[in-house]
Structures are given as structure tokens and as C-alpha cells.
Amino acid sequence: MDVGQYLGVFLDESKEHLQGLNDNIMTLEQDPTNEDCINEIFRAAHSLKGMAGTMGFKRMQELTHHMEDVFSDVRAGQLKVNGDMIDQLFKCLDALEGYVTLISDTQDEGTDEHQDIIDALNTIRTGKPAEGATDNKAAEPAADAPAEAGSDAGSGEPAWKKIKVKDSEKQTLEEAKAEGKNVFGATVNIQESCILKAARAFLVFKGLEEIGEVVVSEPTTQDIEDEKFDLSFSLLITTEESQEKVVEVINHVSEIDSVDCGVFDPAAAGSGDDDKQEEAAPKAEEAPAAAAAPATAPATAEQPAKKEAPAGGAAGGGKKQAGKPAIARTVRVDIDKLDVLMNLVSELIIAKNSLISAATSEKSDGGSVNEQIEYLESVTTNLHESVMKVRMVPIDSVTQKFPRMIRDLNRSLGKPMELTMTGEDTEMDRTVVDEIGDPLMHLLRNSADHGIEPPAERAAAGKPETGQIFLHAFQDGNNVVIEVGDDGRGIDVEAVKRKGIERGVITPEQGEAMSEKAIIGLLFNAGFSTAKQVSEISGRGVGLDVVKSKVESLNGEVDVRTKLGEGSTWIIRLPVTMAIIQALMVKVGGETYAIPLDSIQIIEDVAPNEIKLVQNKEVINLRGSVTPLIRLSESLDVTSNQPENSNMVVVIVRKGDQQAGLVIDEMLGQLEIVIKPLGKYTSRCKFISGATILGDGEIALILDTNALV
Amino acid sequence: MNDLRDNADAGELIQYIVIRLGEEQFGIDIRFVDNIVRMQQITRVPKVQHYLKGVINIRGEIVPVMSLRLIMEMNADEITGKTRIIIVKMNGGNLVGLIVDQVAHVLTLDSNNVETVRRGDDRRHGEFLSGVGKYEGGLVSILDLNTLELESLESRDKDREKQMLTVAE
């Protein structure tokens, strides 16, 4: 058995608990007497401690333990929540987060003990630097153990005395005894609240294998690994160490309720003959157990060796496999989504079978085959959709960090501000969600730092002193839109222009000729920061350009709306999924192109006399809105094969709030296409976002309507 | 990959695919050749350099195809039954197709028989060659695939533009 398999779960849950702690401590800061909140915090801290202990992360466990103590005092009413305490707690959470990150990168918690934080937490508890919080803790279980062991002993004979010993095992035990080793029996009781019993048991075995050899266990090691035991298990161990040492090793594993240990006399052991008279079933089980018992010895001896790699990182110091995180990325999937998938797969199998029977029945006229193909098509479409949904996670996994961040900024900048978030349940592909956190964080910091004015300035402008920062996420067709903004001072276009000229990004003449929008666009240039001073929060010269390139690498786009004195809003538009899309296939000058369906609003049939010229550009009046026409044949350098005076097929596409009409030659129909990257050689063509391979092996290019409009 | 291309002084035997462009012969190190396919329908990509003829589908991967003739400023390709597309692996593993008039044969050369061509060599097409190989049948120019990387093609295009401008002035 290997705790490694629990590592993913541990990391997921730790992150969840830490997030919960973060949220609750923030609530507590607002409402220091909220009892539910305190209880919630206590519980989360307790589980976190337990989990860290189970996994053998001692430093993390220690730190959490001290944090838990503080909450325990708060809960008991011995301590009052105050600002200083909250700050310390946040520091502690950050340190814990540090452990988790380190563990997920290297499977090791590192060597930082964060003694300063532990001291600070103790100071909070006692009002003065604590002397022996650690001793205290060590003493506790030690005091508990004998007491409980005593009570156990009172209740009858300890379970380890009843362990049935095979003849071969008996021999091993006797040999060990002859060699002068001690033979002990032990019964370990695990706490009722323990979740990962098997992991605890494993740690017990692992610990004992270090000082001796576990010869027999009941239930068998296999059953213990499979968690097929109640709260206790018994074992016999041969060791050169003392009885106290054995008890100590077992007690070292957390969530162990009690241990009963004593000298085992192999000679007096109940022999295998007894159970022959009992029942046949246990005997049948004995056989594999007997085989397992000797086998476990080398196996478990080997395991610590294997474990050395990750766990030995602490001892060996530093030599970790650098680079890629050791933990596979996981997605938590709603069981309903899996059920849907399962159903679809069954349908797929049915469709396949019907197709086979339709194809083999000679009489068929092709009608039933077609029918089955249609069925198959609908199943595969649904299957694709469902698989995509499985990959979808709500964006709150990244946004939930933000309230804490704004709170910290609040303190460090000395500007009161509030963050409102909506639509955190909006779902996106896991890969997109993972990538979008940093850009969003940057935009929020930007708002806090550059957007929101100092309170005095706000008061002078007649605004409430507390600045408002918001993050709204919502789905819009096949896109997810995330708006991040503030009610601060907005972008000073003139200042940007001056800065642009100063930095030599544009010439003064260019500056005069540029539209407001184009000037704001300068902000996305690399190394362009308008903050008067470079501050800790933002303005390090890497900023909006990074946001832009990140979003674009995800096939999205960033836009900004701003009004001087009223604030600005950054709008990020991202595709919900990548990889597979629905597209309209069109012909232009004999070539086939795909237009993503989600950018298409409507398809119009336009007569030549409906086209008007505005500023020498062709437009049509589409139900009251003037829509520019783009002749794709011209944009794509081909000759349209449509006669001059015939009606034109116009695909109306949308980019944000603008729209335009793309003139095509002919429509081929809708198709589900797999997007393939085009590579850098053809990157000069901005109109093409990728390519797809059609059923006949031919390639069709995918038009990027955003670049065309 | 650069190492492989440059490290030829050990006297090792290297195989080259010899291709023809008109009357001229060029050798391409076989270690960088992924595949040789017949001329096929190339999907044109608009608004790209004139020597980029488009993209083709190689085992489900989209591969750009360039005309070696146009890169070397020779006459445009005439597609015949012998025209082939050599799929080569570039730095970083990208595949790129090169249109050639014909694939002649495979040639094994001792690296001692390959004379290195220095940058700025005024030999015809010198800028695209890494060396010239001698063999019984004569000489073969060895193509330097590094010069066909997008970056070096683009910087060369820029130089050409500048030259054109100065000539025009």
C-alpha cells in the first residue's frame, strides 16, 4: 500500500479546507462573534491537521495544530477575535498554502517550520510568548495512552493474545526469540472519526517495519490495505527494541486512539490445530493469509525503500525531481454527468449494433442504414457535448482567492474597497480555468492600484469613500465573458497619449490622428505602465500585455470600456471549449472555409441594389442597423465565381457589440469540426485561426471573424 | 538538432536524399526527412509569403508546404508526375513540406568529402547551403535546413526589401 494514491485527494481537500478557512476568517473579521463561523473554522482546521498527519507531513500538522489551538480558545470564549489575530491567522494560512504547493510540486513539505508564526500564535493564546506548547502536545497522547490501554485491559483479554499463529509463523517467532529478539503483540485502536483507516494502519506498519518485523497481523495485511477491518487490528512483531519503543512508534501515528502492547509467548500461542475444529471458511482464508504473511515481510521492507524517493526528500535534503509537478491534474466530476456519459455510451453500442444488422440484412434499401447513421450522429454529438461538460469546471476555483486578495490590498494600499462577484458558477474548460487566474488577478490588482482613487480624492469627486471593484462572469453563446472593473478614476486618454509619445511608442503626429480606442489599445503594449510610481501592487512593466497575450493564447480577446472619472471595465471574452466546434462550411472562390457557428448571428440574402456606400465602404441596412460588408473573396485574394448582379449570401457575424456581413459564394452546411493548429509558418495570415480536416482528407481553413471585422 | 547538423567532422557516413530543381542538385540530410509524398492538392492560405504554397494533411497533421524554387528565386514550379513534396523535420520537431522537381537518389557521403560553405559565400544559392559534397558523379550542394526556418526566411525577406528600396532610390 502506498499513501501516494491518497496524495491527490489530500491536496484537493487541503486546498478546499484552506479556501474555507480563508473565507470564514474573512467573515469572522467582519463579524467577530459569529459562532457558526468559528465552529466551521475549528472543524476545517481540525480536519486539515488530521489529514496532514495521516500523510506524514509533520511540519504542516504542527503548524495547523497551533492554529487549531487558537480557534479552540476562541470557541471556548477564552480569546477575543481582533485584527492582529486575523492578520496572524492569514499569515498562517499563507504558510500552510506554501506547504501544500510544495507538496504538490515535490511530494515533500520542505523544511520550513514557520517557528515565527507558531510563536506568534502562542503569543495570541497566552498573551505572552509561550514556553512549552510543543511539550504540552507531546505529553497529551502519552498521558492518554496508558489510561485507555488500562481500560481496554480491564474489558477482557487484549485481541493480540488471540491471534492465531500458523506453524511456520510460530517457527519464525521462536527463531527470533532464540536470537534474543523480543516478540510483542499489539492491538491498535483507531479513532472512530478517522477517515483513512487503511492509511493509518499503513503508517503503523511502516513505522514498525523500521524497528523490527511484523510477522503476523489480524486481519491480514491484504485486508487492512483494502480497509476490511473495523477500528482495531492486532499484530505480532519481532524486534530488538523495547516494548516502550513499539508503543511510542505506534502512538506517533496520529488518530490512533489507543495501543495495547505486551510480550507474546510463541510457545503458548494458539496453534493452527484449533481452528480446524472451528469452521471451514476461516480456514480457507488462512491459506492465502499464510502465503501473504511471509510475502509481506519483503514487500513491506521494499515499500519504505520505494517511499524514500518522495519522503526521503526531507532527509536527503533538496534533491527533488525538479520541473513538472508530480501530481496529475484532476477534475471532480458530478456523478450525474458520468451517468449521462454512461447512458450515451450504451446508446452508442446500440447504434453500432443496429448499424451492423442494417448493413448485413441484404434486403435493406439503404433507408434503414441512413436512419441508423442519423441516430449514430445524434448520439456522437451528445457524447461529445457530455465529455466536454465533464471537462468543465466552475470558475470559482480561481475567483474564490480574490476576496482575500482585495482585503490584503485594502490594507496595504490604505484604500477602502469592496469586491462584488457574480457568476462564479459559470463553467469553462478546465484548461482555460487554470490559465485565466493570473490575468484576472492582474486586472483586479490594476483596478485596486490604478483605478480606485484614495478616499480623499473620492470624497472630493462626490463618490462614496469605499471603492467598488467587481467581477462579473456570464455565458454568452459559445463564449464566456468575464468583466472586471471598478468605479475609480477611469483611464485618462490624454495621459496615455502623452506617455505613448514620451516612450516613443507613437509620434506626436500619430497621437493626434489616433482614435480614443486606439490610444487605449496602447496600454496593451509591452512595457507600458501609466502609474506615476511603480508600486508593489502593479506597474512593474509587465502587465496588460501579458494579460492580452495570455487571453489570446486561449483564443479569447480583451477589450476595455472606460469613462474618465467613472471607472473602467475590462472585458475578457473566451471560448467555452476549444478543440471541437460547430461551424458553417462555406465556399469562396472555389475554396472551402469554416466559419465558427457561435460568431454567426444570421444569414441574409442581399440584392445588389441594397448595398449603399458610406465613406467609400459598402454597407447594408440590416433592420435599422448599418452593417459594413466584407467581401471575403477580396480579403482572401480569390476571385468570386458569382455573377456580378445576382443576389449575395451574406453571413452576419458579431464581434462584441459590432457586427459585419461577410459575403460568401455559397453555403455548404453545418459541420462539427476538430480544430487543428496551423503552426507558425502561416502565422502571417491573421484571418485564419486554424484548420480542420474534412471527411475526404481535404483541409478547410477556419476563418477568424474577429480578425476580419 | 543543430548539433547534428553541424557535427560532421568525425568522418562519419551520412546519407543524403538528392533532389533536383531544374538542372541543379541538392542533398538533404536523410536524418531530417520524415517522409516523401507525391504532389497533392495543397490548401492555399491567403496573405502569406509567396513561397508558402499552403498546407497539406500528413497523417492528420496540418503541414505547411513551401516551394524551394520560389525560396531560391528560381522559376515557379511546374507540376509533373515526378514532382514530390519532401516532409522535413525542423528544429522543435515541426514538419515542413518542400516542393521539389524530382527525387533523384540516395547518396552516402563521408563527411570528410563535404566541404563546408561559409556564410557570405558567393556561390550560387550559397546562403542556403551548409556544404558541398564530392562524389564520383560530381558535386552536390547540401541544403542547410536552418536557413529554411521561418525566422531566417523572414529576416532574409526583410533584407531583400531593404535592398529593393535602396535600389529604387
B119 band by pLDDT with thresholds 50, 70 and 90: low
From the list A24, A251, A446, A479, the catalytic residue is: A446
Q: What is the pLDDT of residues A562-594, one digit of tens each?
A: 888 888 899 998 877 656 778 999 999 989 999
Q: Any CB–CB contact under 8 A between A684 and chain B?
A: yes
Q: What is the pLDDT of residues A321-349, one digit of tens each?
A: 334 444 556 677 778 888 888 888 888 88
Per-residue pLDDT at A218:
78
From the list A46, A66, A114, A450, the catalytic residue is: A46
Of B41, B44, B47, nearest to A698 by CB-CB distance is B41
Whether A446 is catalytic: yes
Of the listed ranges A3-7, A61-65, A296-300, B25-29, the least confidently predicted one is A296-300
SS3 labels along A430-482: HHHHHHHHHHHHHHHHHHHHHHCCCHHHHHHCCCCCCEEEEEEEEEECCEEEE
A547 band by pLDDT with thresholds 50, 70 and 90: confident
Q: How many Cα atoms within 13 Å fall on the side-chain side of residue A199?
A: 19
Per-residue pLDDT at A411:
82
If residue B63 lies in a helix (H) or strand (E), which one and from where to where? strand B61-67
- Count contacts between A and B (CB, < 8 Å): 64
Judging contacts by C-beta atoms under 8 Å, the chain A residues touching residue B47 are: 636-637, 684-687
- DSSP code, position A526: T
Whether A68 is catalytic: yes
Q: Any CB–CB contact under 8 A between A697 and chain B?
A: yes
Distance from C-alpha of A4 to C-alpha of A350, rounded to nearest angstrom: 40
And the C-alpha cell for A39?
A: 465552529
CB contact under 8 A, B46 and A638: yes
Per-residue pLDDT at B152:
87
CB contact under 8 A, B55 and A638: no
- DSSP code, position B72: T
A167 near A276, Cβ under 8 Å? no
pLDDT of residue B113 exceeding 50, the answer is: yes
Q: What is the pLDDT of residues A460-504, one digit of tens each?
A: 888 888 889 999 998 876 678 999 988 888 888 888 888 778 777
- CB burial string A384-414: b at 16+ within 10 A, e below: bebbbbebbbbbbbbbbbbbbebbebbeebe
pLDDT of residue A354 exceeding 60, the answer is: yes
Q: What is the dihedral of CA B43, B47, B48, B54, to 10 degrees?
A: 0
pLDDT of residue A275 exceeding 80, the answer is: no
Q: Any CB–CB contact under 8 A between A676 and chain B?
A: yes
Per-residue pLDDT at A25:
85
A252 near A141, Cβ under 8 Å? no
DSSP bridge pairs for B61: B58
Kindly state the average pLDDT of the residues A295-304. 40
What interface predicted TM-score (ipTM) does this complex get?
Answer: 0.87
pLDDT of residue A626 exceeding 60, the answer is: yes
A144 band by pLDDT with thresholds 50, 70 and 90: very low
Whether A479 is catalytic: no
Q: Which of A80-94, A177-191, B103-117 has the highest mean pLDDT?
A: B103-117
A580 near A674, Cβ under 8 Å? yes
| Shortest alpha-carbon distance between residue B61 and chain A (Å) | 8
Of the listed ranges A39-48, A467-476, A588-597, B23-32, the least confidently predicted one is A39-48
Kindly state the average pLDDT of the residues A158-168. 73
Per-residue pLDDT at A157:
66
A667 near A603, Cβ under 8 Å? yes
Kindly state the average pLDDT of the residues A659-685. 87
Q: How many Cα atoms within 13 Å fall on the side-chain side of residue A704?
A: 19
pLDDT of residue B159 exceeding 50, the answer is: yes
Per-residue pLDDT at A536:
42
pLDDT of residue B22 exceeding 60, the answer is: yes
Residue of A nearest to B94 (CA): A679
pLDDT of residue A638 exceeding 50, the answer is: yes
Q: What percent of chain A has pLDDT over 70?
A: 81
Burial (Cβ within 10 Å: 0-12, 13-18, ≥19) of residue A372: buried
Q: How many Cα atoms within 13 Å fall on the side-chain side of residue B73?
A: 9
Per-residue pLDDT at B38:
92
Of the listed ranges A91-105, A123-137, A302-316, A526-540, the least confidently predicted one is A302-316
CB contact under 8 A, B48 and A686: no
Per-residue pLDDT at A366:
62
CB contact under 8 A, B47 and A637: yes
A449 band by pLDDT with thresholds 50, 70 and 90: confident
Q: What is the pLDDT of residues A236-265, one digit of tens each?
A: 888 888 888 888 888 877 777 788 888 877
A105 band by pLDDT with thresholds 50, 70 and 90: confident
Q: What percent of chain A has pLDDT over 90?
A: 9
pLDDT of residue A272 exceeding 50, the answer is: no
B8 band by pLDDT with thresholds 50, 70 and 90: very low
Judging contacts by C-beta atoms under 8 Å, the chain A residues touching residue B64 are: 678-679, 681-682
Per-residue pLDDT at A372:
80
Per-residue pLDDT at A327:
54
The identity of residue B31, as a single letter, is: R
Q: What is the pTM of this model?
A: 0.46
Helix A243-252 vs helix A197-211: angle between axes, to the nearest 10 degrees? 150
| Shortest alpha-carbon distance between residue B70 and chain A (Å) | 15
Per-residue pLDDT at A526:
62
Of the listed ranges A133-137, A220-224, A478-482, A518-522, the least confidently predicted one is A133-137
Per-residue pLDDT at A306:
39
Alpha helices (runs of H) in A278-366, residue ranges in sequence order:
280-312, 335-360
CB contact under 8 A, B64 and A681: yes
Burial (Cβ within 10 Å: 0-12, 13-18, ≥19) of residue B111: middle
If residue A385 lies in a helix (H) or strand (E), which one and from where to where? helix A367-391
Residue of A nearest to B47 (CA): A685
| Shortest alpha-carbon distance between residue B35 and chain A (Å) | 18
Distance from C-alpha of A173 to C-alpha of A236, rounded to nearest angstrom: 9
Of B44, B55, B150, nearest to A680 by CB-CB distance is B150
Distance from C-alpha of A276 to C-alpha of A286, rounded to nearest angstrom: 11
Per-residue pLDDT at B143:
92
Of B41, B45, B57, nearest to A682 by CB-CB distance is B45
Angle at A303 between CA A300 and CA A308, to 5 degrees: 145
pLDDT of residue A151 exceeding 50, the answer is: no
Which comes out higher in pLDDT, residue A358 or A99? A99
Per-residue pLDDT at A246:
81
A280 band by pLDDT with thresholds 50, 70 and 90: very low
Q: Which of B161, B164, B131, B134 is nearest to B146 (CA)?
A: B131
Mean pLDDT score across all residues of chain A? 76
Judging contacts by C-beta atoms under 8 Å, the chain B residues touching residue A681 are: 48, 52, 64, 66, 94, 96, 150
Which comes out higher in pLDDT, residue A49 or A128? A49
- To test the contact with chain A by mutation, choose from B37, B41, B50, B55 the residue with the greatest count of A C-beta atoms within 10 A, namely B55
